[in-house]
Amino acid sequence: MALDKATVARIATLARIKVPESELEQLARELSHILTWIEQLGEVNTDGVEPMASVAEMTLPMREDRVSDGNARDKILSNAPQHAHGFFLVPKVVE
């Protein structure tokens, strides 16, 4: 697929990329070359090929989905500059 300068300028506008007029011709050639490679992928027979997210066959370990409070309130509050009664103390922001 061959792109002309006007199409490349339109693509640049849609992508909000400022491309100088002097670079449009070179960019059109490069994008046309990339699109030629992409068209070649359409020629590959992929019948019976399962989609994949990774080239490595793996199954992620699953854990039981249960709700908890983390059981670390005291440890978390120890990082706070100020705390009282199990809560963070923060300066008043509304008068």
| Span 35-73, pLDDT tens digits | 999 999 889 998 988 888 888 888 888 988 888 878 888
E strand or H helix that includes residue 5: helix 5-14
Locus of tokens 């370990």: 61
* Contact in structure between 88 and 82 (CB atoms under 8 Å): yes
- Can you read off the two tokens belonging to residue 15? 């992508």
Predicted local distance difference test score (pLDDT) of residue 33: 95
With respect to residue 31, please indicate whether it lies within any of the assigned structural domains.
yes
Per-residue pLDDT at 18 exceeds 90: yes
Can you tell me the mean pLDDT for 70-89? 90
Can you tell me the mean pLDDT for 17-40? 94
Q: Which domain holds residue 17?
A: 5-41
* Contact in structure between 25 and 19 (CB atoms under 8 Å): no
With respect to residue 80, please indicate whether it lies within any of the assigned structural domains.
no
With respect to residue 74, please indicate whether it lies within any of the assigned structural domains.
no
Q: Quote the number of domains for the chain.
A: 1
Q: Which of 23, 2, 33 is nearest to 12 (CA)?
A: 23
